[in-house]
């Protein structure tokens, strides 16, 4: 288990430089996305609308994922979560 943690840590450290945008791509990006993506930036307001919409959907699902993970709300003894939690 310890060896897996080291491998994942090494992979994240090595992948960080690859994931950041290069200098040529930074010049093509707007200020807000300069360090995050490669290639050209959003070309119209519709692109920004799509990015904002996807961000809202992602945060909404993340919130409810944590909410139902922490406090699922099912009280029935025969519910499938109880079978899983008994292991």
Domain hosting 12: range is: 1-41
Confidence (pLDDT) at 11? 72
pTM for the structure as a whole: 0.55
Confidence (pLDDT) at 87? 60
pLDDT tens digits, 30-48: 777 777 777 777 788 898 8
Based on the fold, state whether residues 6 and 31 are members of the same structural domain: yes
Confidence (pLDDT) at 83? 73
Q: Where are the alpha helices (DSSP H) in the chain?
A: 2-19, 23-28, 45-70, 80-85
pLDDT tens digits, 46-78: 988 998 999 999 999 999 988 887 777 777 877
For the segment 14-43, the average pLDDT, to the nearest whole number, is 71
Based on the fold, state whether residues 33 and 51 are members of the same structural domain: no
User: How far are the Cα atoms of 16, 81, 83, 84, 87 from residue 78, in angstroms, in the given order?
Assistant: 45, 8, 8, 11, 15
Q: Looking at the 3D structure of the chain, how many domains does it have? A: 2
Distance (Å, whole) CA 60 – CA 67: 11
């Amino acid at each position: 288990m310890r060896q897996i943690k080291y491998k994942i840590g090494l992979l994240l450290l090595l992948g960080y430089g690859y994931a950041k945008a290069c200098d040529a791509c930074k010049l093509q990006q707007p200020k807000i996305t300069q360090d995050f993506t490669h290639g050209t930036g959003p070309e119209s307001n519709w692109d920004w609308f799509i990015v904002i919409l996807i961000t809202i959907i992602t945060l909404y699902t993340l919130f409810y994922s944590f909410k139902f993970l922490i406090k699922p709300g099912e009280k029935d003894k025969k519910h499938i979560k109880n079978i899983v939690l008994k292991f």
